[in-house]
Amino acid sequence: MSTPVTTFVERASREVNTPKVRAVDAGARLLTAKRLKGVEEYPAMDSMRDRAREIRLHTVAHLDTYLEQFAEAVEAVGGKVFFARDADEANGYIRRVARDASAELIVKSKSMVTEEIGMNAALEADGVQIVETDLGEFIVQLANERPSHIVAPVMHKTRQDVGELFARELDVPYTEDPAELNKIARQYLRQRFLRADIGVSGANFGVASTGSICLVTNEGNGRLTTTAPRIHIAVMGMERLVPTPGDLGVMLEILARSAVGQRLTVYTNVVTGPRRPGDPDGPDEFHVIILDNGRSQVLGGSTSEILACIRCGACLNVCPVYREVSGHAYSDVYSGPMGAVLVPSLFNIEGNEQLPYASTLCGACVDVCPVRIEIPDLLLALRQRVVEDGDAFRWLGSAMSAYKVAATRPRAWRAALSSGALFGRAVRSGWVGRLPGPGGAWTDSRDLQMPAKEPFHDWWRRNRGS
Ligand code: SF4
Question: CATH code at 246?
Answer: 3.40.50.10420
pLDDT for the residue numbered 3 = 61
Which residue CA neighbors atom 2 of ligand 1 most closely?
Answer: 369
Going by C-alpha positions, the residue among 421, 417, 412, 356 that lies closest to residue 389 is 356
Number of structural domains found in the chain: 2
pLDDT for the residue numbered 53 = 98
CA pair distance 463, 465, nearest whole angstrom: 6
Under DSSP, the state recorded for 347 is S
pLDDT for the residue numbered 58 = 98
Going by C-alpha positions, the residue among 327, 333, 344, 350 that lies closest to residue 380 is 344
**Most confident range, picked from 15-24, 68-77, 275-284, 445-454:** 68-77
Pocket-testing residue among 298, 310, 335, ligand 1, by greatest number of atoms within 8 A of Cβ: 310
pLDDT for the residue numbered 2 = 56
Is residue 458 included in any domain, yes or no? yes
Angle formed at CA 46 by CA 209 and CA 368, multiple of 5 degrees: 95
One-letter identity of residue 309: C
The answer to whether 232 and 226 are in contact (CB under 8 A) is yes
Q: What average pLDDT does range 50-70 have in this prediction?
A: 98
pLDDT for the residue numbered 449 = 86
Pocket-testing residue among 56, 319, 368, 373, ligand 1, by greatest number of atoms within 8 A of Cβ: 373
**pLDDT: which is higher, 350 or 428:** 350
**pLDDT: which is higher, 154 or 3:** 154
CB atoms within 10 A of CB 371: 22
Where is the domain boundary, 249, 278, 295?
295
Q: What average pLDDT does range 104-112 have in this prediction?
A: 96
Q: 434 pLDDT exceeds 90? A: no
Is residue 132 included in any domain, yes or no? yes
Which residue CA neighbors atom 8 of ligand 1 most closely?
Answer: 312
CA pair distance 80, 285, nearest whole angstrom: 8
Backbone φ and ψ for 280, nearest 5 degrees, come out as -70, -25
CA pair distance 312, 305, nearest whole angstrom: 15
pLDDT for the residue numbered 4 = 67
Q: What average pLDDT does range 394-413 have in this prediction?
A: 86
Rounded to the nearest whole angstrom, what is the distance from the C-alpha of residue 373 to the centroid of ligand 1? 7
pLDDT for the residue numbered 452 = 84
CA pair distance 78, 76, nearest whole angstrom: 6
Which residue CA neighbors atom 3 of ligand 1 most closely?
Answer: 369
Residues forming a β-bridge with 132: 108
pLDDT for the residue numbered 404 = 92
The answer to whether 277 and 68 are in contact (CB under 8 A) is no
Question: Please, what's the largest Cα pairwise distance for the chain?
Answer: 86
CA pair distance 466, 464, nearest whole angstrom: 7
Q: 398 pLDDT exceeds 60? A: yes
Which residue CA neighbors atom 6 of ligand 1 most closely?
Answer: 309
Is residue 153 included in any domain, yes or no? yes
Cβ burial of 134 (10 Å; 0-12, 13-18, 19+) is: buried
**pLDDT: which is higher, 80 or 432:** 80
The answer to whether 140 and 6 are in contact (CB under 8 A) is no
pLDDT in tens, 308-333: 999 999 999 999 999 999 999 998 89
Is residue 322 included in any domain, yes or no? no
**pLDDT: which is higher, 37 or 396:** 37
* Domain span holding position 256: 8-295
Where is the domain boundary, 246, 276, 295?
295
pLDDT for the residue numbered 202 = 97
Q: 306 pLDDT exceeds 90? A: yes
The answer to whether 94 and 291 are in contact (CB under 8 A) is no
Identify the sign of the CA torsion 120, 112, 21, 158: positive
175: left (phi over 0), alpha (psi -120 to 50) or beta: beta
Indicate if 24 and 164 belong to the same structural domain.
yes
Atom of ligand 1 nearest to the CA of 375: 1
Is residue 225 included in any domain, yes or no? yes
The answer to whether 274 and 212 are in contact (CB under 8 A) is no
pLDDT for the residue numbered 447 = 86
Is residue 121 included in any domain, yes or no? yes
pLDDT in tens, 267-277: 999 999 999 99
- pTM for the predicted model, two decimal places: 0.90
Rounded to the nearest whole angstrom, what is the distance from the C-alpha of residue 258 to the centroid of ligand 1? 9
Where is the domain boundary, 269, 295, 321?
295
Rounded to the nearest whole angstrom, what is the distance from the C-alpha of residue 190 to the centroid of ligand 1? 32
Under DSSP, the state recorded for 3 is P
pLDDT in tens, 343-388: 999 998 888 999 999 999 999 999 999 999 999 999 999 999 998 8
CA pair distance 36, 257, nearest whole angstrom: 9
Identify the sign of the CA torsion 268, 69, 111, 79: negative
Q: 419 pLDDT exceeds 70? A: yes
Going by C-alpha positions, the residue among 258, 204, 247, 225 that lies closest to residue 371 is 258
Beta strands in 202-348 (DSSP E): 205-207, 212-217, 231-237, 241-242, 267-271, 285-291
* DSSP secondary structure, 199-230, as one string: EEE--SEEETTTTEEEEEESSSHHHHHHHSSS
Under DSSP, the state recorded for 439 is G
- Segments in 16-86 forming alpha helices (H): 19-40, 45-61, 63-76
CB atoms within 10 A of CB 258: 27
CA pair distance 460, 466, nearest whole angstrom: 8
Atom of ligand 1 nearest to the CA of 365: 3
Beta strands in 101-257 (DSSP E): 105-108, 129-132, 198-201, 205-207, 212-217, 231-237, 241-242
Is residue 375 included in any domain, yes or no? no
Is residue 163 included in any domain, yes or no? yes
Angle formed at CA 311 by CA 216 and CA 352, multiple of 5 degrees: 145
List ligand 1's pocket residues with C-beta within 6 A: 309-315, 338, 368-371, 373
Q: What average pLDDT does range 206-225 have in this prediction?
A: 95
CA pair distance 166, 78, nearest whole angstrom: 41
Atom of ligand 1 nearest to the CA of 259: 8
pLDDT-above-90 percentage for the chain:
78
pLDDT for the residue numbered 1 = 59
pLDDT for the residue numbered 356 = 95
